[in-house]
Amino acid sequence: MSPVEDKKRPISPPILENDVHKKQNTNESAPTPVLTPVLAPVLASASESKSTPVEQKQKKQPKVHKRKYKSKEVDQTSPLGVLQHEIKEILTSHGLSEDEISNDMNSILNSEEAQARNHRIVSNVKIESLTSNGDGLALIPHPEESKKHQVCIVPFGLPGDVVTIKVFKSHPLYVESDLMEIEATSSFRDDSLINCRYFGKCSGCQYQNVEYSHQLKFKRETIVNAYKFFAPVLSTTDGALPSVRDTEPSPLQYSYRTKLTPHFNVPYKKNFVLEYRPNVGFGSKGRPTWRKDVDIPDGSILDIEECSIGTPIINQGMTNERKRFEKEFKKYKKGATILLREDTNVASKNEKFELKEASTDENDVISSIEVDLEGEDKKLIKTCVTKSRQIVTEYINGYTFEFSAGEFFQNNNSILPAVTNYVKSNLAIANSKEGEPNYLVDAYCGSGLFSITCSDNVSKVIGVEVSADSVKFAERNAKSNNIQNAQFIVGKAEQIFGSIDTPCNRTSVILDPPRKGCDEVFLNQLSDYHPAKIVYISCNVHSQARDVEWFLNNTKNGKEYYVESIKGFDFFPQTHHVESVAVLSLRETT
Ligand SMILES: C[S@@+](CC[C@H](N)C(=O)[O-])C[C@H]1O[C@@H](n2cnc3c(N)ncnc32)[C@H](O)[C@@H]1O
Contact 477, 453 (CB under 8 A): no
Q: Considering the candidates 17, 494, 549, 579, report the single residue annotated as catalytic.
A: 579
Nearest CA to ligand 1 atom 18: 492
Residues of the chain with CATH 2.40.50.140: 17-32+70-210
Confidence band for 495, pLDDT divided at 50, 70 and 90: confident
CA distance 369 to 535: 36
Q: Tell whether domain 17-32+70-210 is in CATH 3.40.50.720.
A: no
Best mutation site among 402, 407, 444 for ligand 1 pocket (most ligand atoms within 8 Å of CB) = 444
Between the CA of 442 and the centroid of ligand 1 the distance, in Å, is 10
Best mutation site among 412, 447, 465, 520 for ligand 1 pocket (most ligand atoms within 8 Å of CB) = 465
Residues of the chain with CATH 3.40.50.150: 214-252+412-586
Residue range 332-348: mean pLDDT, rounded: 95
CA distance 288 to 180: 6
Between the CA of 419 and the centroid of ligand 1 the distance, in Å, is 17
pLDDT at 314: 98
CA distance 434 to 323: 60
Residue range 398-413: mean pLDDT, rounded: 95
Query: pTM for the whole thing?
Result: 0.89
Q: Out of 384-393, 431-440, 464-473, 577-586, which region has the weakest mean confidence (pLDDT)?
A: 431-440
Please say if 28 is a catalytic residue: no
**pLDDT by residue (tens digit) across 431-454?**
777 788 999 999 999 999 999 999
Higher pLDDT, 9 or 548: 548
SS3 502: coil
Q: Considering the candidates 152, 307, 539, 549, report the single residue annotated as catalytic.
A: 539
Best mutation site among 408, 412, 526 for ligand 1 pocket (most ligand atoms within 8 Å of CB) = 408
- Proportion of the chain above pLDDT 90, given as a percent: 79
Mean pLDDT of all residues belonging to the chain: 89
Between the CA of 522 and the centroid of ligand 1 the distance, in Å, is 13
**Residue 513 CA, closest ligand 1 atom number:** 10
pLDDT at 581: 98
pLDDT at 193: 98
Q: How many helices (H) and strands (E) does the chain have?
A: 14, 23
ipTM beyond cut 0.90:
yes
Between the CA of 464 and the centroid of ligand 1 the distance, in Å, is 8
Compute the 3-state secondary structure of the chain and give helix, strand, coil in percent, each to the nearest 5.
Answer: 30, 25, 45
Nearest CA to ligand 1 atom 12: 444
Does the pLDDT of residue 197 top 50, yes or no? Answer: yes
pLDDT at 435: 81
Confidence band for 13, pLDDT divided at 50, 70 and 90: very low
Higher pLDDT, 24 or 201: 201
Residue range 579-590: mean pLDDT, rounded: 90
β-pairing, 336-337 with 263-264? antiparallel
Contact 379, 370 (CB under 8 A): yes
pLDDT at 279: 96
Please say if 539 is a catalytic residue: yes
Cα-based torsion angle of the residue sequence 342, 343, 349, 353 in order, rounded to the nearest 10 degrees:
-130
Between the CA of 499 and the centroid of ligand 1 the distance, in Å, is 18
Question: φ and ψ at 44, to 5 degrees?
Answer: -60, -45
**pLDDT by residue (tens digit) across 369-381?**
999 988 889 999 9
Q: Tell whether domain 214-252+412-586 is in CATH 3.40.50.150.
A: yes
**Residue 515 CA, closest ligand 1 atom number:** 1
pLDDT at 52: 61
Q: Which residues surround ligand 1 with Cβ inside 6 Å?
A: 408-410, 444-446, 449-450, 464-467, 470, 492-494, 512-514
Partner residues linked to 126 by β-bridges = 162
* DSSP summary character for residue 50: T
Does the pLDDT of residue 403 top 50, yes or no? Answer: yes
**pLDDT by residue (tens digit) across 293-326?**
999 988 899 999 999 999 999 999 999 999 999 9
Contact 302, 282 (CB under 8 A): yes
Does the pLDDT of residue 83 top 60, yes or no? Answer: yes
Between the CA of 529 and the centroid of ligand 1 the distance, in Å, is 20
pLDDT at 497: 85
**Residue 409 CA, closest ligand 1 atom number:** 9
- Proportion of the chain above pLDDT 70, given as a percent: 89
